[in-house]
Amino acid sequence: MPAILNPSLLILHHNHHYPRLSTAVLSLRHHLTLSLFSPSRTTLRGFSTSSSSLSIESSANQNVRTGRSGSVSSPPVEHNTAEKIDVNPPKGTRDFPPDDMRLRTWLFHNFREVSKQFGFEEVDFPVLESEALYIRKAGEEIRDQLYCFEDRGNRRVALRPELTPSLARLVIQKGKSVSLPLKWFAIGQCWRYERMTRGRRREHYQWNMDIIGVPDVTAEAELISSIITFFKRIGLTASDVGFKVSSRKVLQEVLRCYSVPEDMFGRVCIIIDKIGKIPMDDIRKDLQSADMSEVAIEELLQVLSLKSLAKLEEKLGASGEALSDLKQLFSLAEKYGYSEWLQFDASIVRGLAYYTGIVFEGFDREGKLRAICGGGRYDRLLSTFGGDDLPACGFGFGDAVIVELLKERGLLPELNLQVENIVCSLDQELQGAASAVATILREKGQSVDLVLENKPLKWVFKRAARINARRLILVGNAEWQKGMVNVKTLSTGEQLEIKIDELE
């Protein structure tokens, strides 16, 4: 019978030649020895052992549970050459190199300036939220588009797909410690795993403005006014974009006439929101599955095709809440001076289940792009999270579609890098002196690009042109001895010697 080597010796021998052997394997050699020589051992396949000995798997799991590092796998194979990675960002996401970052900064600046013009305060929320915050109604697209997972504490979490639920959570958390109305805005990154089209990505930034505590349509009128102010600010007019406006109460009144159960309302809204995105035959089938009769379906589709309040009044009568709210909104639009931007469209319902009243969408009048923005009233959202309901409305405005629209209209701004001064030493020994000059100017609030290496003047002038520098400041030995520097105004070519303590 051949001699059986002691596995511990085998491991130690292996470690003699390979000093990087995993410490986890060394720590388990005793259990492996017991497993090999136990008479009740069942099998070595998969590193399983009898109940009388500890398995490698259970020991590794213990390491995970206690937070210790350790692995039962072999050490990673070291390669002499690094493997080339895919340099593109994950599908549906973006990098922001300097040119794109300048555009994003410009866009966000306009979002913020308009929000502040209207008296709103900025808030923000975690990008990672509880998954339960977004699991509201079956059938919502958003359920299937979540980036969600279980964290190490066995909690179900998700990257936020929108900002309104986070806002609702914060309002509930603050309770009566805040006075109403709340006028809050946020600019945040959102994530949805969805089919990508022009202006639609899997991550985007969204500008939200919300008013909490105002039950009247004056709140919606103010929000629409703020978006129009933004459009005007970036060069868009009513001939470029407009707003389609309706009310979910229109839908409620039609469904009530045909005794459609109230708990089917949200589902019907989600189906209706797909009009124009899927064939009408599929819309009809989906409505049938929502317990609607053929007569009710045809009546509903007829109402949804209406494009004027006068026609809606003929259909529903003059006494309903839906018509009253819509008339008030259009009347306020005239007072604000933006009625030409609005049009009634009964098919607008929005795809999120929490909307309860007025809803609106900003659209490209040429019809080349998807909705630019959208919002409405959501008076019953807080109670879905266990809070007390408050009247509320708001909108979400994505960054991707508006950039596409500005490209389409040739309205993208020129946002070149601009630095006020470029400072350069003419001698390597004067690099410290150049640093001192840069510090003086920066302390006076000016931007300075300090040339950090000994470069020829030709290179410095090219650099100055690329960064659109206003002045070139040269630190030369003769001037420095006199406590002066050479200052060249690049737009005129004028050059002066200026005392260091007189630099402005």
Q: Strand 156-159's sheet: what is its strand order?
A: 128-130, 156-159, 147-150
Asked if residue 163 belongs to a known ligand binding site, the reply is yes
Q: Which amino acid is at 420?
A: E
Asked if residue 431 belongs to a known ligand binding site, the reply is no
* Number of helical H runs and strand E runs in the chain: 18, 16
Spatial distance between the Cα atoms of 32 and 263, rounded to a whole number of angstroms: 60
Q: Which amino acid is at 399?
A: D
Beta strand segments in 272-425, E:
342-344, 358-364, 373-377, 392-398, 421-425
Distance between start and end Cα atoms, the chain: 95
Asked if residue 233 belongs to a known ligand binding site, the reply is no
Spatial distance between the Cα atoms of 427 and 430, rounded to a whole number of angstroms: 5
Spatial distance between the Cα atoms of 343 and 299, rounded to a whole number of angstroms: 22
Asked if residue 102 belongs to a known ligand binding site, the reply is no
Asked if residue 206 belongs to a known ligand binding site, the reply is yes
Residues 6+ apart with CB under 8 A from 409: 235, 236, 240
Look-up of token digits 């002499």: 80
Asked if residue 338 belongs to a known ligand binding site, the reply is no
Asked if residue 122 belongs to a known ligand binding site, the reply is no
Q: Is 213 exposed, middle or buried (0-12, 13-18, 19+ CB in 10 A)?
A: middle
Residues 298, 300, 306, 311: what is their CA dihedral angle, to the nearest 10 degrees?
A: 100
* Residues that constitute the known binding site: 162-164, 192, 206, 210, 350, 354-355
* Residues that constitute the known binding site for L-histidine: 162-164, 192, 206, 210, 350, 354-355
